[in-house]
Chain A
Amino acid sequence: MLIVDSLVKSFGGLLAIDNLSFQVKEGIIHGVIGPNGAGKTTLINQLSGEIKPDSGTILFDEINITCMNVHLRSAIGLARSFQITNIFLDLTAHDNVALAVQAHAGHSFKFWKDARKDHKLRIHALEYLKQVGLEKRADFLAGQLSHGEHRQLEIAMALATRPKLLLLDEPTAGMGPKESSAMVEILKKLKGKLTILLIEHDMDVVFSLADKITVLVNGRNIITDKPEAIRNNHEVKVAYLGEENIDA
């Protein structure tokens, strides 16, 4: 479904992504882990089109999307959530999701009818809020919601664009254990319905969700395998814990 082939991206002298290749199979949750500065967010930004790679190709459903516009990627079924919460704080939760529904409900050259009374948008939006368990908070301004709820809202907005592939950039970042496990439950329910590329810092989250894991170190794919194999891999331990700690 997603094929990343010899991707390179550098910022000035810093090589953030170094000849990276990996594949994501359809219908699974594919985790990407790596220590700080491994290039995880740089990778997701290239997949969603925020930044363009220096070289290499990205194929999505056999379409070359390496240099495609951000909004066109969304149109062919790619969605993402952001590590830093990126929603419309002055709109209600319901409005936020309705906006995402609107983006995929024909053109928006509609100048007259009140969009907030547009049942097509509102009903669908509510369904996505339910999927992430926010239906009771629908009429609250996004700015009034808690951090954990913001992240849930992010997921609802991404789902509302009806993606085939969902890119999640650290969905549990900054969450407490309780919120974090609620997020894991939401993602578990999505498993099988769509393909998810999950970039995550929290090992417990990745190992409880992912079917396959790619370990990124210094912008390189050092191993892609099943979770059990990753857990026992020597190179991964070195990358995370340092050589001395393992020996000790």
Chain B
Amino acid sequence: MLGLAAVPLIADVIDEPFYTVMFSRMLILSIGAISLNLILGFGGMVSFGHAVYMGIGSYVVGIGTFHAIEDGISWMGNGLIHLTIAVVFSALTALFIGSISLRTRGVYFIMITLAFAQMFYFIAVGNDNYGGDDGLSLYTRSKFYNILDLSNDNSLYYLNFTLLIVFLYFSHRLINSRFGILIRGAKSNEKRMENIGFPVYRYRLVAFVIAGVICGIAGVLSANQTDFVSPAVMHWTRSGDLIIMVVLGGMGTLFGPVIGAVAFLFLEEFLSGITEFWQIIFGPMLVLIAIFGNGGIDGILVRLDKWWQIKK
């Protein structure tokens, strides 16, 4: 974690700002993966449409800055307003999707969340005012008065880094709170939880909304990072990527999603340097992790650590 804090400094010294951008992406996707892990890893809710909130956050920034520049409405470029609107819209969307999809289980839940995600995807594609299929370029990033200048990649990096720490700590508190214990209990035995008197549905719904909101905030960061918004951010394959990160890193562990997001982007970067068809290598690796890495990379690390202790 501390290593991540030093990335922009090192990148500046070796004069490779590209690394700051790459690690910045890792941090943002880590936040997204953390939010998904709350419902998938701890709550057992396999949402296949989590990128929707990433898209909502991104479009709030995209549309906001678009009007700020085109129509000169300066408050629409304000970062705090972007964050607020992204939080509200993500929460409402998650409430809507969750209230319907959480009535189903298993494969049906996966299919419904996927269907809703595709619905939002096509809304974005069809919206010609804001670039439709081609997307929308941001000519300026979110403005935070004079306190924080996001046009500087290093500032953005540290904003991402701070928020990642905040959400990591938040999820640590959450999963051990009464609420978290309830959500985890419902994952392992929903019937029993109902039986001892918990109205499981409404707690799951709140967890679903919390996860959506956090991912929406990641979306705000993501748009600022890439200076570009397009429907592709909420394509179902992006939702799939988030699931892969969580599973790769270790479902239901605190740091798993961060490890997963970092590993995912590293492999993408490294493998696509070897061959254009990098997924040919990535696919089998995932299969191996799924079969042998019970608990993802985090699980492997824990076991290595135990093995090391015994050896000593």
Q: Which chain A residues have a beta carbon within 8 Å of chain B's beta carbons?
A: 48, 50, 69-71, 74-75, 79-80, 82, 86-88, 90-91, 95, 99-100, 102-104, 108-116, 118, 157-158, 160-161
Contact = CB atoms under 8 A, between A and B. Distances in A.
Q: Is the interface of B mostly helix, strand, loop or mixed?
A: helix
Contact of A113 (B177, B191, B195): B177
Contact of B191 (A50, A103, A104): A50
Given A69-B194, A70-B191, 20 more contacts: A71-B194, A71-B200, A74-B196, A79-B196, A86-B189, A88-B188, A90-B188, A100-B196, A102-B182, A103-B198, A108-B179, A109-B206, A110-B179, A111-B180, A112-B173, A112-B174, A114-B173, A116-B181, A157-B196, A158-B196
Contacts of B191: 50, 70, 86
B203 A108 contact: yes
B192 A102 contact: no
Nearest to A81: B195
A161 to B, nearest CB: 5
Given A108-B178, A111-B177, A71 B198 contact: yes
B197 interface: yes
A103 B177 contact: no
Contacts of A95: 181
A114 B177 contact: yes
Interface in B162-215: 173-174, 176-182, 185, 188-189, 191-200, 203, 206
A79 to B, nearest CB: 8
A95 to B, nearest CB: 8
Contacts of A103: 193, 196-198
A161 B197 contact: yes
Interface residues of B, number: 24
B195 A111 contact: no
A11 to B, nearest CB: 19
Contacts of A160: 196
A116 B176 contact: yes
Nearest to A102: B178
Given A99-B181, A115-B180, A118-B178, A88 B189 contact: yes
18 contacts: A50-B191, A71-B195, A79-B195, A82-B192, A86-B192, A88-B188, A88-B189, A99-B182, A99-B196, A100-B196, A111-B174, A111-B179, A112-B174, A113-B177, A115-B180, A157-B196, A161-B196, A161-B197
Contacts of B196: 74, 79, 99-100, 103, 157-158, 160-161
Contacts of B200: 71
A245 to B, nearest CB: 40
A102 B189 CA distance: 16
Nearest to B199: A71
B12 to A, nearest CB: 38
Contacts of A161: 196-197
Contacts of B188: 88, 90
Contacts of B194: 69-71, 74
Contacts of B189: 86-88
A104 B206 contact: no
A110 B178 contact: yes
Given A99-B196, A103-B198, A115 B185 contact: no
Contact of B185 (A74, A79, A99): A99
A104 B197 contact: yes
Nearest to B194: A70
A80 B195 contact: yes
Contacts of A70: 191, 194-195
Contacts of B203: 108-109
Nearest to B195: A70
B178 A113 contact: yes
